[in-house]
Amino acid sequence: MVATSSASTSKNKTTQKDTSTRMKDKTFTGVGNLIKLLPTGTVFLFQFLNPVVTNNGHCNTINKYLTGALLTICGFSCCFASFTDSYTGTDGETHYGIVTRKGLWPSPASESIDFSAYKLRFGDFVHAFFSLIVFAVLGLLDTNTVRCFYPEFESGEKVLLTVLPPVIGVISSAVFMLFPNNRHGIGYPSSTDTSLSQKS
């Protein structure tokens, strides 16, 4: 009788561990899909500095201010990158510029390229908004950020932490399909990198 109850207890613990492992795998898969929608430099900067500024989730007041500043800077970077683009100049180098209503700024130094195609579009604002939303989900649901600002959330809202990244990823991917992004701005692969990868 005792052996049976201990066997069922160990089986329940194994089942709980398997469920927990599956939930973590789904969360990491969702987060991985979200990261593809953001500028790689910004994501790397956040992933690198977040454990440092949050003191691995053991925050005091100064850590909270630093984490808030890091989230704000990285969020701005995600938005800003949506309004940048690149081109290959006559010198063979990749040049970056900010997208405006008239084309790229600063004025490009290449005469052989038609810069009217680089004008500001409605889709740029959509991409900027959803990039900010995606980064907010990644940044605010990061384990160190959660432990720093709202530690009770980690134990009480595990389902939300697991479900929200994939849901936001699906919605953002659908919106990005409706408004395809042909820009190769700061933090994204340049047009030459993309063309080379398509050829190979």
**Among 26-30, 62-66, 83-87, 157-161, which stretch is predicted with the lowest mean pLDDT?**
26-30
Q: Which of 20-29, 57-66, 173-182 has the highest mean pLDDT?
A: 57-66
| 167 occurs within a structural domain | yes
In terms of pLDDT, which residue wins out, 109 or 56?
56
- Classify residue 160: in a domain, yes or no: yes
Q: Are 100 and 116 in contact (CB under 8 A)?
A: no
As a whole number of angstroms, the distance between CA 35 and CA 50 comes to 15
pTM over 0.75: no
pLDDT, position 182: 77
Radius of gyration of the chain (CA): 22
Residues 97 and 137 in one domain: no
Whether 72 and 95 map to the same domain: the answer is no
In this structure, the answer to whether residues 127 and 176 fall within a common structural domain is yes
With respect to residue 13, please indicate whether it lies within any of the assigned structural domains: no
Q: Is residue 45 packed enough to be buried (19+ CB in 10 Å), middle (13-18) or exposed (0-12)?
A: middle
Write out the residue range of the structural domain in which residue 74 sits.
26-83+121-190
Answer yes or no: is 9 within a domain.
no
Of the pLDDT bands very low, low, confident and very high (cuts 50, 70, 90), residue 90 is confident
With residue 85 as reference, give the H or E element that holds it.
Answer: strand 84-88
Whether 74 and 142 share a structural domain: yes
Tell whether the model's pLDDT for residue 96 goes beyond 70.
yes
Note whether residue 96 is domain-resident: yes
DSSP output for 126-141: HHHHHHHHHHHHHHHT
What sign does the CA torsion over 65, 66, 70, 71 have?
Answer: negative
Whether residue 182 is found in the same domain as residue 89: no
pLDDT in tens, 105-115: 876 666 667 77
| Residue-level pLDDT at 138 | 86
Element (H, E) at 125: helix 122-140
Select from 37, 6, 30 the least CA-distant residue to 160. 30
Q: Is residue 97 over pLDDT 50? A: yes
For residue 197, pLDDT over 50 is answered with: no
Decide if 1 is inside a domain: no
Please, what's the largest Cα pairwise distance for the chain?
A: 86
